[in-house]
Amino acid sequence: MRSRFHQGLDELRARLLRMGGMAEQAVDRACQAYIERDLARCHMVLEGETQINIAEREIDEQAFDLLAMQQPMAVDLRFILAVTKINSDLERVGDQAVNIAERVMDMAELPKADLPVDIARMAAAVSAMVRRSLESFIEGKAELAQAVLEMDNVVDRMKDEAFITLVKTMNDHPEVTRQALDALLVARNLERVADHATNIAEDVIFWVRGADVRHNAGPEEPLPATQQAATDRR
Partner 1 sequence: MGVGIQVEKLNAWFSKTQALRDINITMAANHCTAVIGPSGCGKSTFVRCLNRMHETIPNARAEGRVRIGELDVYNGTSAVAIRRRIGMVFQKPNPFPTMSIYDNVAAGLKLNGFHERKRLDEIVERSLQLSALWDEVKDTLRKKSGASLSGGQQQRLCIARAIAVQPEVLLMDEPCSALDPISTGKIEELIFQLKERFTIVIVTHNMQQASRVAEFTGFFLLGELIEFDKTEKIFTTPSDKRTEDYITGRFG
Residues at the contact surface with partner 1, assessed by CB under 8 A: 3, 5-6, 71-78, 210, 223-226, 228-229, 232
**Residue with smaller CB distance to partner 1, 29 or 209:** 209
Give least dist CB 93 to partner 1, A: 28
Print the SS3 string covering the chain: CCCHHHHHHHHHHHHHHHHHHHHHHHHHHHHHHHHHCCHHHHHHHHHHHHHHHHHHHHHHHHHHHHHHHHCCCHHHHHHHHHHHHHHHHHHHHHHHHHHHHHHHHHHCCCCCCCCCCCHHHHHHHHHHHHHHHHHHHHHCCHHHHHHHHHHHHHHHHHHHHHHHHHHHHHHHCHHHHHHHHHHHHHHHHHHHHHHHHHHHHHHHHHHHHCCCCHHHCCCCCCCHHHHHHHHHHC
- How long is the chain? 234
**Residue with smaller CB distance to partner 1, 22 or 229:** 229
Give least dist CB 229 to partner 1, A: 4
Cβ atoms of 180 and 170 within 8 Å: the answer is yes
**Residue with smaller CB distance to partner 1, 169 or 227:** 227
Give least dist CB 219 to partner 1, A: 14
**Residue with smaller CB distance to partner 1, 62 or 227:** 227
Give least dist CB 76 to partner 1, A: 5
Closest by CA position to 142, among listed 91, 191, 210: 210
**Residue with smaller CB distance to partner 1, 115 or 230:** 230
Give least dist CB 207 to partner 1, A: 11
**Residue with smaller CB distance to partner 1, 6 or 157:** 6
Give least dist CB 87 to partner 1, A: 20
Give least dist CB 77 to partner 1, A: 7
Cβ atoms of 93 and 130 within 8 Å: the answer is yes
**Residue with smaller CB distance to partner 1, 3 or 216:** 3
